[in-house]
């Protein structure tokens, strides 16, 4: 638990550093700059998640591959993601071409780091993993804040941040990961990893695109400034999502052990009793705090201009609570290797998000974007929960049947 606490603190610092970047942009520059940066994030996030192939989780779950195979795959998909980004930016967002490219390069750095994090997670070296995350985030943030304060240029600041992060990966993060390789890379192993990771990557692309769709529609219908307000408020929730993700990474091994040991009854209890109770308890604490003290937090971090949209923050918190409950179901679908569910569900949700988003944002502007997230997250939660319950219940019945036959 002590190791998890250290990792939790590391991920908290990582989340806070990303949030501080938004705050600094809002304070030093303008709402339009926040909107432009948020648009770049919305464009690159789905592409980066696709390119990730969720290799960090696969390193932990597969537990037998050569690290150089993962590194080779990482480099190939880094190039693919950058090429896709350049094409999209050139065709649709030429005004923000440089900004979008720089944000993508930083995301590629993050994807590289994820390999090292997965390696240390597999080795249960949570202290070393935590230190790597903390040092990277703190010094990366310092580089960004100083450069933005001096130059007042978002592009220059992002470029310097990218150069620092890439150097950090080459010198500190990559070393142990590559040194602990027992044999030469294997084409067959690489094909196996890609075969397992590609459907997950495509699924993650659509999941993240679902989150970006309301932003695209909001920017198209109501302008960059409104997107800036929405994205700044959404970052309160992004921190929560990052922390939930860190919890899922920690629990992944434990959930996997319950599944491998055929302890389906306990696993169902964790999923459908303890997880909803935890989510409700979290909501009982967070929602009143948001309603009664949200304006003070918004004014303190972003300024008085943003407090007009307190209700948006309340709605986003509700969406976050639904998504946090759903995240653990997604981990179970990964462990059970129900790739089709992870592949087709996000596609379905993308269609739903586009339709609902278009209607809601047209009608209710920034509030419609938040309502879209709530509705889509609720649908996602119900569908993921249904499939998890069906899979585990079926496996549990199969184990009981085997036990009965054995006792006869």
- Please list, in sequence order, all residues whose beta carbon lies within 8 angstroms of the beta carbon of residue 359, skipping any fewer than 6 positions away: 368
The answer as to whether 219 is a domain residue is no
| Domain match, 383 and 239 both | yes
Q: What stretches in the chain show pLDDT beneath 50?
A: none
The answer as to whether 299 is a domain residue is yes
The answer as to whether 198 is a domain residue is no
Rounded to whole angstroms, the Cα distance separating 140 from 159 reads 11
| Domain match, 41 and 137 both | yes
- Please list, in sequence order, all residues whose beta carbon lies within 8 angstroms of the beta carbon of residue 28, skipping any fewer than 6 positions away: 148, 149, 152
| Domain match, 53 and 149 both | yes
Asked if 205 contacts 86 with a C-beta cutoff of 8 angstroms, the reply is no
The answer as to whether 212 is a domain residue is no
| Domain match, 67 and 130 both | yes
Last residue of a domain, one of 128, 162, 185: 185
The helix-helix angle for 339-407 and 187-222 (nearest 10°) equals 130
Closest CA to 112 of 163, 52, 57: 52
pLDDT recorded at residue 227: 95
pLDDT recorded at residue 365: 95
Distances (CA, A) of 289 to 16, 53, 293: 19, 37, 5
| Domain match, 354 and 403 both | yes
The answer as to whether 395 is a domain residue is yes
Give me the domain span that covers residue 245.
226-408
The answer as to whether 199 is a domain residue is no
Number of domains in the chain: 2
| Domain match, 390 and 277 both | yes
pLDDT recorded at residue 138: 95
The answer as to whether 197 is a domain residue is no
What is the CB neighbour count within 10 angstroms for residue 81? 23
| Domain match, 27 and 78 both | yes
pLDDT recorded at residue 20: 92
The answer as to whether 351 is a domain residue is yes
Last residue of a domain, one of 129, 157, 185: 185
Last residue of a domain, one of 125, 155, 185: 185
Rounded to whole angstroms, the Cα distance separating 318 from 335 reads 27
């Amino acid at each position: 638990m002590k190791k998890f606490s250290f990792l939790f603190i590391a991920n908290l610092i990582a989340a806070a550093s990303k949030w501080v970047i938004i705050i600094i942009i809002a304070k030093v520059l303008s709402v339009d700059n926040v909107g432009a940066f948020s648009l770049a994030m919305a464009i690159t996030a789905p592409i980066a998640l696709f390119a990730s192939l969720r290799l960090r989780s696969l390193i932990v779950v597969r537990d037998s591959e050569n690290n150089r195979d993962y590194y080779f795959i990482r480099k190939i998909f880094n190039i693919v993601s950058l090429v896709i980004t350049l094409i999209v930016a050139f065709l649709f967002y030429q005004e923000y071409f440089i900004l979008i490219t720089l944000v993508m390069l930083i995301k590629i750095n993050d994807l590289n780091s994820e390999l090292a994090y997965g390696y240390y997670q597999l080795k249960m070296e949570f202290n070393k993993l935590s230190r790597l995350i903390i040092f990277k985030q703190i010094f990366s943030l310092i580089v960004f804040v100083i450069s933005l304060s001096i130059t007042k240029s978002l592009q220059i600041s992002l470029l310097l941040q990218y150069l620092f992060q890439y150097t950090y990966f080459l010198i500190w993060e990559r070393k142990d990961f590559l040194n602990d390789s027992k044999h030469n890379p294997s084409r067959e192993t690489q094909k196996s990893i890609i075969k397992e990771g590609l459907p997950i990557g495509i699924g993650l692309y659509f999941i993240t695109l679902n989150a970006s769709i309301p932003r695209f529609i909001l920017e198209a219908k109501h302008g960059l400034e409104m997107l800036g307000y929405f994205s700044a408020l959404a970052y309160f929730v992004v921190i929560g999502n990052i922390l939930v993700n860190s919890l899922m990474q920690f629990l992944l091994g434990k959930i996997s052990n319950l599944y491998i040991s055929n302890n389906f009854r306990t696993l169902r209890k964790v999923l459908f009793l303890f997880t909803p109770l935890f989510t409700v308890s979290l909501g009982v604490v967070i929602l009143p705090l948001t309603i009664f003290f949200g304006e003070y937090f918004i004014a303190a971090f972003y300024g008085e201009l943003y407090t007009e949209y307190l209700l948006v923050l309340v709605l986003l918190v509700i969406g976050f609570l639904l998504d946090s409950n759903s995240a653990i179901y997604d981990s179970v679908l990964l462990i059970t290797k129900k790739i089709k569910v992870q592949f087709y569900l996000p596609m379905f949700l993308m269609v739903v998000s586009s339709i609902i988003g278009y209607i809601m944002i047209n009608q209710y502007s920034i509030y419609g974007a938040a309502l879209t997230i709530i509705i889509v997250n609720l649908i996602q939660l119900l569908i993921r929960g249904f499939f998890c319950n069906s899979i585990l219940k079926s496996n549990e019945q199969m184990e009981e049947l085997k036990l009965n036959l054995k006792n006869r």
